[in-house]
């Protein structure tokens, strides 16, 4: 089995002075509430050049920047340690594509961030490997690791949750990106960018009552995430409108889109809209009719995490 960064490896980054431990002021300045940038990408052309062009387009559309360099410098500092949280629960057909995540890593590197400080992670090494990622401490276009039960010992509270957070999020990373997919969830309704953060707490199984509301929003508003989250990306090359969060091949649909937003609530609102549109096309009842509308989106908006009113969502195509 491939080995991701160990605790010693991560401590070595800090000891070398690579952990800045301070917020980058550009993150707040780059925020565009309610705006989701989109760029087209067909499943048949997922190559390195196409993925780089698509991720670049989505981020520029989301931030309003004319050039990707300005967009990235508005979101990240060259001194940041950037954690990219992927969601690989659905396996290779329903996880962020390696090519898209690699494109994001290339853009971060072009902004002056050492590739050793670009860390792609998920809750387990097994799920990463199943989705095609290679855990490694160094080399390649980014570091890659599973949390693998490496949580803080002390419980942190946020609203109605009490959890031990992954050390990677709590102490290693100074900036975070949620890189999710567009899929429904049998309890929460939508699993896209916000619920992706359930993967950084030790006890997510405790927080699925009431459609995961307010628990999803409570996890994201914890300072470990809220204070560091700079960007949400969604791999919507294919989406899933029913049967989630696990893979349900009969309910996949070709959305052909990558979405980006500095507003994590708006990103989920956009994903909800895409799922509902496909459900309507198939003659399925809406998530609201099935009593699993993602109410945590409105709760997150009420917490000030972003825009949650459908009429305030603005989609900007690259």
Note the pLDDT tens digit of each residue in 194-217.
999 999 999 999 999 999 999 999
pLDDT surpasses 60 at 2: no
Contacts of 33 (CB under 8 A, 6+ apart): 263, 266, 306, 307, 312
Average pLDDT over residues 267-284: 98
Q: What pLDDT shows up at residue 222?
A: 98
Residue 139 has what pLDDT?
Answer: 86
Query: Three-class SS of residue 119?
Result: strand
CA 33/CA 37 separation, integer angstroms: 12
d(CA 192, CA 232): 9
For the stretch 6-44, pLDDT in tens is 655 555 554 443 444 444 444 444 579 999 999 999 988
Contact of 265 with 194, CB cutoff 8 Å = yes
Q: List, for residues 164-182, the tens digit of each pLDDT value.
A: 999 999 999 999 999 999 9
Separation CA 225–CA 220 (nearest Å): 6
| pTM of the model as a whole | 0.93
| Per-residue confidence (pLDDT) for residue 19, from 0 to 100 | 45
Q: Which residues contact 243 (CB under 8 A, 6 or more apart)?
A: 184, 186, 250, 251
Q: In whole angstroms, what is the distance from residue 193 CA to residue 156 CA?
A: 22
pLDDT at position 14 is 45
- Check: CB of residue 299 under 8 Å from CB of residue 20: no
Name which residue leads in pLDDT, 135 or 138: 135
Distances (CA, A) of 105 to 55, 110, 268: 10, 9, 22
Q: Percent of the chain having pLDDT more than 70?
A: 91
* Whole-number Cα distances in Å, 317 to 37, 60, 259, 276: 6, 10, 9, 20
Output the pLDDT for position 77: 96
pLDDT in tens, 218-265: 999 999 999 999 999 999 999 999 999 999 999 999 999 999 999 999
Sign of CA dihedral 303, 304, 309, 314: negative
Reported as a pLDDT band with limits 50, 70 and 90, residue 82 is very high
Separation between Cα atoms, residue 88 and residue 132, nearest integer Å:
9
The pLDDT of residue 138 is 81
Confidence of residue 3 (pLDDT cuts 50, 70, 90): low
The owner of tokens 């490694």 is 136
CB 41 within 8 A of CB 51: yes
Mean pLDDT of 283-302: 98
pLDDT bracket for residue 56 (50, 70, 90) = very high
177 backbone dihedrals φ, ψ, rounded to 5°: -130, 135
Answer yes or no: are the C-beta atoms of 246 and 130 closer than 8 Å. Answer: no
Per-chain mean pLDDT for the chain: 92
- Which residue do the tokens 């030790």 mark? 202
pLDDT of residue 31: 79
Residue 266 has pLDDT above 60, yes or no: yes
For the segment 127-143, the average pLDDT, to the nearest whole number, is 94
Structural tokens at position 212: 């995961």
Q: Which CATH number fits domain 33-317: 2.40.30.20, 3.30.420.40, 3.40.640.10, 3.40.50.11440?
A: 3.40.50.11440
- Provide the residue ranges of all domains of the chain, joining segments of one domain with +: 33-317
């Amino acid at each position: 089995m491939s080995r991701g960064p160990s605790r010693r490896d991560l401590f070595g980054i800090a000891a070398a002075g690579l952990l800045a431990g301070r917020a980058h002021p550009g993150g707040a300045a780059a925020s565009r509430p309610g705006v989701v940038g989109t760029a087209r990408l067909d499943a048949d052309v997922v190559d390195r050049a196409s993925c780089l062009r698509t991720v670049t387009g989505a981020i520029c559309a989301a931030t309003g920047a004319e050039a990707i360099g300005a967009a990235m410098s508005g979101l990240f500092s060259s001194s940041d340690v950037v954690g990219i949280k992927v969601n690989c629960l659905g396996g290779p057909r329903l996880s962020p594509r390696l090519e898209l995540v690699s494109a994001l890593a290339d853009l971060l590197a072009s902004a002056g961030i050492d590739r050793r400080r670009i860390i792609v992670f998920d809750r387990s090494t097994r799920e990463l490997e199943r989705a095609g990622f290679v855990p490694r401490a160094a080399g390649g276009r980014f570091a890659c690791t599973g949390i693998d039960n490496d949580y803080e010992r002390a419980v942190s509270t946020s609203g109605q949750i009490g959890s031990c957070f992954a050390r990677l999020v709590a102490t290693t990373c100074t900036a975070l990106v949620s890189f999710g997919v567009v899929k429904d969830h049998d309890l929460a309704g939508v699993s896209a960018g916000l619920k992706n953060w359930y993967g950084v707490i030790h006890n997510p199984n405790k927080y699925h009552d009431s459609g995961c509301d307010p628990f999803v929003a409570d996890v994201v508003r914890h300072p470990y995430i809220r204070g560091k989250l700079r960007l949400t990306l969604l791999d919507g090359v294919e989406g899933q409108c029913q049967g989630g969060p696990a893979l349900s091949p009969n309910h996949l649909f070709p959305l052909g889109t990558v979405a980006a937003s500095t507003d994590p609530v708006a990103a989920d609102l956009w994903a909800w809209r895409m799922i509902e549109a496909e459900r309507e096309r198939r003659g399925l009842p809406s998530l609201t009719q099935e009593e699993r509308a993602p109410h945590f989106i409105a709760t997150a908006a009420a917490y000030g995490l972003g825009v949650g009113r459908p009429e305030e969502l603005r989609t900007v195509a690259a």
